[in-house]
A and B are shown apart, each in its own frame.
Chain A
Amino acid sequence: MPVTRINIGPVHPSTHGVIRLEVDLDGDTIVDVEPHIGFLHRGVEKLVETRMYMQCPPYMEKLDYVAPMAFNEAYVSAVEAAMGIEVKERAQYLRTMLLELQRIASHLFGIGTLCNDLGQMFTVFMWAFKDRDIVLDLLQEAAGSRMFYVNMRLGGLNQDIGPEFHGHAMKVMDYMERRIGEYEDYIEKNPIFMERMRGVGVLSAEQAKNLGVTGPVLRASGVNFDARKNNPYYIYSKLNFNPKVLTSGDNFARYKVKMLEMRESIRIVRSVLESLPGGDALGMPVKLRSPNPANRIATSSRELPRGEVFMYLVADPQKPYRLSIRSPNFINLAALRHMSKGARMADLFAIMGSLDLVMGGVDR
């Protein structure tokens, strides 16, 4: 049968932002997929070279609009490393907690859109958004904003949490734990979901390592690597948690890793809240002039909800000389071609959904 080439996107219901896929189909089977990126390219890496250090966090947040705080934190910590600023102890705890809350919100989004791509009539999507909203309320209480926080300051945070936060967060965590159980019940007992997810879009451990994918995609393929564990930052080395690793490497494993990670995040948030030290968490106020960097080159590596981000900062006085961002979205997108060869046309979007890409991070 002749190969049909169809063009999907950049405007398509399930491309999760703007990406164009050139798909070669033999009947209903995918022969090849070629992603074309760049529709959301804003030149952030170049842009920050013209800005003062603390003018850049808002740009960083727009790179991953589903988990903005995580990207922002990675940048701020690179700047802190360059300037040799130690983060206050209480701020370390709070940052850890906020990042885990952000991870829960982001994974909920990922699972909702995945179910949409599998042809669900927005039901899980809307449920996930409702619960994500509750987590966002918590983040608003702690950081002052719902979507773009810009709450990281050099050496700390923009504000400390209030006295009621502990109770609110505990209540939300109990609720989330129950809800995650309900999602698992609803989704995994559906035979259509299971047969469309199991054994589809398999990425072997070898392939995953060669492609350099990170995050849930890597751990679903059976490689135990988590920047929080292997390259610990803040208080992760003190916390008792295990990266969730599954071995099958298919769509279902990638979905399940996210579910397990949400439960793990809930545990982390609880233990952080229980062991929260007193003291001051506020960082330096934002001024145009910041301290001059002590180191010329600084790096930071962080486990984002979607994988590992690596910031490489060459520091000039007052301004970044060069900032290079290794975005997990971009690297994970490269795996799409390998995973979808031989799959069905309908599975292409399930695979895209299980990768959980954010195009802002792909194009930068």
Chain B
Amino acid sequence: MLANDLINNILNISFWMSSPSLLYNAIGAIIYLIMVFIIFSVFGYTVGWLERKLIARVQYRHGPTYVGMWGILQNMADLIKLLSKQEVSLAKGSRLLYAISLPLMLSFSIFIILLIPYSPALQATNLGLGLIAVFTIISFMPLLLFMTAVATGNKFAGISAQRSVLILLSYEIPTLMVIAAIGMLSNSYSLQSIVSAQSQFYYVVLMPIGFVILFITLLAEFERPPFDLKEADSELIAGWLTDYSSPYYALSLFLDYARMFLGSVILAILFFGGWSGPSIAPPLFWLIAKAFIIAIFIIMVRATTFRMRIDRVLRFGWLWLIPLSLINIVITYILFIA
């Protein structure tokens, strides 16, 4: 019991942060960073392995089996292989942008990961506009992607960059409108109060249309199929990543896991009550469990769907997502506010 309390106190970041002593703040920051790193890497790695395994099972394959038990170390082996490959350097394009854009993209993702509260205690700071902040940084991603693509001067990457800007038009507006509806429901944009506002009903019950829209737009945001047309491997080889090799390509895989993690955690927090759950397990467990189930769902979408075409994505966004998200706001207003 005492040990449990002790652990809880150590993990209580706000306790460390509220102290006037700089040393205490530093310890708190380090604990927080280590915790988030563990959460992210374990989640990302497990989901990455599960993705290969699940898709393999859908396709009557076994997936990785040789490296480690059930092939669990296969991704490590792949990472080592990627890092040991020769880097093919650019003949044209901007060397500087080439070097910084992917690391920048990854660091933006990590920044968002650090903004998210993982339990009442485990969070960096309770931002009043946390939700807005998260989505503001997410919306920088297409810009960085554009930069990444243009840096290489590759034509496939160029087409990919065009596509990324085009589909931005179709998913960014519905995303923001769903966020507005969430703000209306919870009376706050702080992620902590959004979770505590879901103590009675999860928002997926109160706002099913909003959940479906945000699920779809996050798939588009994070390049998951059927909206993977920026990286469309059967058309554009690897899209914006075509000219990135060895360490940079490994970074892009990290980025994939980071985005998968972000997407599922954000959906879990906004619609499935985040860390709230029976007290038999710590809050962090509930959040991760919910995010895990959402991640499995995203993986199954990938296993079964075809890729949409760019003009169809635009039409879908403007004809379905935007009107539906408006309807969602109206319904939310009529049912819960007025």
Contact = CB atoms under 8 A, between A and B. Distances in A.
Interface of A: 4, 6-7, 12-14, 25, 27-28, 115-123, 125-127, 130, 190, 192-193, 195-196, 344-349
Contact of B307 (A4, A6, A119, A130): A119
B159 interface: yes
Contacts of A127: 59-60
Contacts of A116: 234
B124 interface: no
B237 A192 contact: no
A195 B226 CA distance: 13
B18 interface: no
Given A345-B159, A346-B235, A119 B226 contact: yes
A7 B155 CA distance: 9
Given A192-B308, A195-B312, A119 B232 contact: yes
Interface of B: 55, 58-61, 155-156, 158-159, 162-163, 225-226, 228-229, 232-235, 237, 302-312
Given A123-B303, A195-B309, 7 more contacts: A13-B233, A28-B311, A116-B234, A118-B306, A126-B60, A190-B305, A193-B306
A265 B278 CA distance: 59
9 contacts: A7-B155, A117-B234, A118-B306, A121-B305, A126-B60, A192-B308, A193-B306, A346-B232, A348-B235
A13 B234 CA distance: 6
The interface residues of chain B, by DSSP majority, are classed as helix
Contact of A122 (B59, B155, B228): B59
Contacts of B307: 118-120, 192, 346
Nearest to A12: B237
Contacts of B60: 126-127, 130
B155 A119 contact: no
A345 B239 CA distance: 13
Contact of A120 (B237, B306, B312): B306
Contacts of A25: 159
Contacts of B59: 122-123, 125-127
Nearest to A126: B59
A120 B235 contact: no
Contacts of B234: 13-14, 116-119, 349
A238 to B, nearest CB: 38
Contacts of B158: 4
Nearest to A118: B306
Name, among A12, A116, A345, A349, the residue most crowded by chain B CB atoms within 10 Å (CB to CB).
A345
Contacts of A122: 55, 59
Contacts of B156: 6
Contacts of A123: 55, 58-59, 303-304
Contacts of A12: 237
Contacts of B302: 121
Contacts of A125: 59
B306 A119 contact: yes
Contacts of B225: 119, 121
Given A119-B232, A127-B59, A345-B235, A192 B306 contact: yes
> Considering the complex of A and B, which 8 residue pairs feature the smallest CB-CB distances, nearest first?
A119-B307, A126-B59, A192-B306, A14-B234, A6-B155, A118-B306, A346-B309, A193-B306
A187 to B, nearest CB: 9
A130 B234 CA distance: 21
Contacts of A27: 162
A115 B234 CA distance: 10
Interface centre among A116, A123, A349 (most CB of B within 10 A): A123
B310 A119 contact: no
A316 B60 CA distance: 51
Contacts of A119: 225-226, 228-229, 232, 234-235, 306-307
A127 B57 CA distance: 11
A101 to B, nearest CB: 21
B242 to A, nearest CB: 11
Q: Among the interface residues A121, A122, A127, which one has the most CB atoms of the partner chain B within 10 A?
A: A121
A28 B310 contact: yes
B310 A115 contact: no
A115 B303 CA distance: 12
B306 A344 contact: no
Nearest to A11: B237
Contacts of B237: 12-13
B235 A190 contact: no
B233 A347 contact: no
Contacts of B311: 28, 344
Contacts of A347: 309
Contacts of B162: 27-28
A182 B158 CA distance: 39
A99 B237 CA distance: 36
Nearest to B315: A195
A6 to B, nearest CB: 5
Contacts of A4: 155, 158
A344 B163 CA distance: 12
A345 B309 CA distance: 9
Contacts of A126: 59-61
A192 B155 contact: no
Nearest to B301: A121
A12 B235 CA distance: 8
Contacts of A346: 229, 232, 235, 307, 309-310
Contacts of A195: 309, 312
A109 B310 CA distance: 27
